[in-house]
């Protein structure tokens, strides 16, 4: 298993993940849509223990998700690129933005969540499971 590497747009923050992703998710909740600037936020779910920051320091924003869970999101303080996030309800997991990987083509969407918040014009692949709210097996 090769390491997954990535970072922000300007290169100030770099990271490595030494585990295969547990899932690839497209989240359509309003918060994720704000962060991504689009119809969804694509991210991979990885074990937190497999994540290593190689350089830089991120800025963290804390909020409450639609589910009621306390969450945090990390961004580059220089270029503003969204990088990774976590939830206090799942401290052993990290959610790493697919666009932050050096090879974002390796991302494979496995499910869509919070579809009830998706804009009506957004297209979803017919062969990828989609759930109206949060899905427990993310």
Mean pLDDT computed over 38-55: 94
Calculate mean pLDDT across residues 19-32: 90
Q: What is the CATH number of domain 4-117?
A: 2.170.150.70
Side-by-side strand order, sheet with 4-7:
4-7, 14-17, 51-55
**135 close to 38: Cβ distance less than 8 angstroms:** no
Of residues 76, 86, 94, 119, the one with CA closest to residue 18: 94
The bridge status of strand 93-97 relative to strand 111-113 is unpaired
Q: What is the pLDDT of residue 2?
A: 66
pLDDT tens by residue, 78-120: 999 999 999 998 999 999 999 999 998 888 899 999 899 898 8
What is the pLDDT confidence band of residue 38, given thresholds at 50, 70 and 90?
confident
Spatial distance between the Cα atoms of 113 and 42, rounded to a whole number of angstroms: 10
The pLDDT value recorded for residue 137 is 41
For residues 28 and 112, the answer to whether their CB atoms sit within 8 Å is yes
Q: Domain residue spans in the chain? A: 4-117
């Amino acid at each position: 298993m090769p390491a997954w590497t990535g970072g922000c747009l300007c290169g100030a923050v770099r990271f490595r993940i030494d585990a295969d992703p547990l899932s690839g998710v497209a989240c359509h909740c309003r918060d994720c849509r704000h962060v991504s600037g689009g119809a969804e936020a694509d991210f991979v779910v990885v074990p937190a223990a497999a994540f290593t920051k190689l350089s830089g320091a991120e800025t963290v924003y804390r909020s409450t998700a639609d589910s009621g869970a306390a969450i945090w999101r990390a961004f580059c303080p220089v270029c503003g690129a969204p990088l990774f996030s976590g939830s206090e309800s799942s401290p052993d997991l990290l959610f790493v933005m697919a666009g932050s990987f050096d090879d974002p083509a390796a991302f494979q969407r496995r499910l869509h969540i919070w579809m009830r918040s998706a804009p009506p014009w957004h297209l979803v692949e017919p062969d990828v499971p989609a759930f109206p709210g949060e899905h427990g097996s993310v």
